[in-house]
């Protein structure tokens, strides 16, 4: 199996990307990673690492997209940037998947440019994995498609459900539609129409209906379906609330301790590590014909290695074949 890594993506440059790839190829015996980026930098980093070099390749890309750059501008001005080279390799069948911690918009724009989507899927959606009181859930979409149609959301439900089964190991994933109340008929036109489509689909038995914001972390469902605008706000808000509450805990709870402050500090540190995004291996861009995993910009080697691992599992488990089969079973669009 062969995957491409956008070595230039992320807040920390090539270092953690190359280190993460080395970890991944050591852990996965049938994996080859193509490191796409500045050849000189990659060679220097590899020389310092003890990597199984027969399964690590270098693909030189002379440019890269900055984290703050406008994605469509980047595509026009830097067609040879590392992330776009990764997409080209996927489109040409040189790799089966790609991983990037770079500019998320550029990753999505690259996908839209090559248009290498799964048969029957109209628009890709970004899924993210979130910890809950009952384990984990997956939320689709968190930002690829800020003004979707009902059909897109239905397809996100199918894809999220297949991902939950194949990657998270949940046998019969339940689905919920993010809304402002549980009752049928709540919300705006988009969610009302989407609700009806789910009820009429093969997913109906696992579709619990509308859910509210507080249901996500209660673990009410395994797959949360939402538009990319709401989903993106949700994703970043969770980060913000977690940060806010943990600061309060540091200050007020640890601050109240005296002789057991060390024990408390270690427990807080454990919590932060356990619920850090890096533990969840990145966010898949579902709907791409191939596997694409988007990592948080601040990912370090552990997060990159986990993301490569998730991509490898996606390829091995033939997630996309299952998606095609399930989308084909949906009612045809009118």
User: Which residue's CB is nearer to a second copy, number 52 or number 185?
Assistant: 185
Contact 206, 177 (CB under 8 A): no
For residue 292, the minimal CB distance to a second copy (Å) is 19
Task: Report in angstroms how near the CB of residue 312 gets to a second copy at its nearest.
Answer: 29
Number of residues that bind a second copy (CB under 8 A): 63
Q: How many other CB atoms are found less than 10 A from the CB of residue 151?
A: 16
The span of 49-57, 82-90, 151-159, 253-261 binding a second copy (CB under 8 A) equals: 253-261
**Smallest Cα–Cα separation from 294: which of 94, 86, 123, 153?**
86
* Contact with a second copy (CB under 8 A) among 77, 199, 244, 329: 244
Give the Å distances, CA to CA, from 12 to 7, 67, 68, 213, 215: 10, 11, 14, 33, 35
Residue with Cβ nearer a second copy (49 or 271): 271
User: Site residues for a second copy, window 105-164 (CB under 8 A)?
Assistant: 105, 131-133, 143, 146-147
Kindly give, in sequence order, each residue whose CB lies less than 8 Å from that of residue 165, ignoring residues fewer than 6 positions away: 171, 172, 173, 322
Query: Among 43-51, 83-91, 159-167, 270-278, which window interacts with a second copy (CB under 8 A)?
Result: 270-278
Is 236 an interacting residue with respect to a second copy (CB under 8 A)? yes
**Which string of x and - marks every residue 174-193 that binds a second copy (by CB under 8 A)?**
----x-xx-x-x-xxx-x--
Instruction: Check binding of 326 to a second copy (CB under 8 A).
Output: no
Q: Pick the closer one to a second copy by CB: 48 or 266.
A: 266
In whole angstroms, the minimum distance from the beta carbon of 289 to a second copy comes to 25
8 Å CB contact between 126 and 295 = no
Can residue 218 be called a binding residue for a second copy (CB under 8 A)?
yes
The residue (of 257 and 329) whose beta carbon lies closer to a second copy is: 257
Tell me: does residue 252 bind a second copy (CB under 8 A): yes
Q: Are 222 and 140 in contact (CB under 8 A)?
A: no
Query: Binding segment for a second copy among 32-40, 108-116, 215-223, 293-301 (CB under 8 A)?
Result: 215-223
- Interaction pattern, residues 34-53, with a second copy; x per rule: CB under 8 A: --------------------
* Span of 33-41, 43-51, 57-65, 240-248 interacting with a second copy by CB under 8 A: 240-248
User: What are the strands, taking DSSP E only, across the chain?
Assistant: 2-6, 32-37, 56-60, 97-100, 125-132, 135-140, 175-178, 207-211, 223-225, 283-286, 291-294
Residue from 6, 96, 155, 215 that binds a second copy (CB under 8 A)?
215
Q: Name the site residues for a second copy (rule: CB under 8 A).
A: 68, 70, 105, 131-133, 143, 146-147, 178, 180-181, 183, 185, 187-189, 191, 212-218, 226, 228-230, 232-249, 252-253, 255-260, 263-264, 266-268, 270-271, 275
């Amino acid at each position: 199996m062969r995957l491409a890594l956008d070595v230039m993506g992320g807040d920390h440059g090539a270092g953690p990307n190359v280190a993460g790839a080395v970890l991944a190829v050591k852990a996965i015996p049938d994996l080859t990673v193509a490191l796409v980026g500045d050849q000189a930098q990659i060679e220097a980093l590899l020389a310092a690492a003890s990597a199984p070099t027969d399964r690590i390749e270098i693909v030189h890309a002379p440019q890269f997209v900055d984290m703050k750059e406008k994605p469509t501008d980047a595509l026009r001005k830097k067609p040879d940037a590392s992330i776009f080279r990764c997409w080209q390799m996927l489109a040409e069948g040189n790799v089966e998947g790609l991983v990037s911690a770079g500019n998320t918009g550029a990753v999505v724009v690259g996908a839209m440019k090559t248009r290498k989507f799964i048969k029957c899927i109209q628009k890709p959606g970004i899924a993210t994995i979130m910890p809950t009181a009952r384990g984990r859930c997956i939320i689709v979409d968190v930002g690829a498609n800020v003004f979707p149609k009902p059909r897109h959301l239905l397809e996100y439900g199918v894809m999220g459900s297949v991902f939950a089964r194949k990657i998270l190991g949940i046998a019969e994933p339940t689905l919920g539609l993010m809304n402002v109340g549980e009752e049928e008929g709540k919300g705006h036109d988009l969610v009302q129409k989407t609700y009806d489509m789910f009820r009429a689909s093969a997913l109906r038995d696992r579709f619990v209906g509308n859910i509210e914001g507080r249901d996500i972390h209660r673990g009410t469902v395994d797959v949360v379906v939402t538009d990319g605008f709401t989903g993106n706000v949700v994703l970043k808000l969770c980060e913000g609330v977690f940060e806010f509450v943990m600061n309060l805990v540091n200050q007020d709870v640890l601050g109240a301790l005296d002789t057991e402050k060390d024990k408390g500090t270690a427990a807080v540190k454990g919590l932060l590590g356990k619920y850090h995004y890096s533990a969840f291996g990145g966010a898949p861009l579902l709907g791409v014909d191939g596997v694409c995993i988007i990592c948080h910009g601040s990912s370090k080697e552990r997060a990159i290695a986990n993301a490569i691992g998730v991509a490898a599992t996606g390829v091995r488990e033939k997630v996309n074949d299952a998606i095609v089969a399930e989308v084909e079973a949906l009612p045809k669009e009118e």
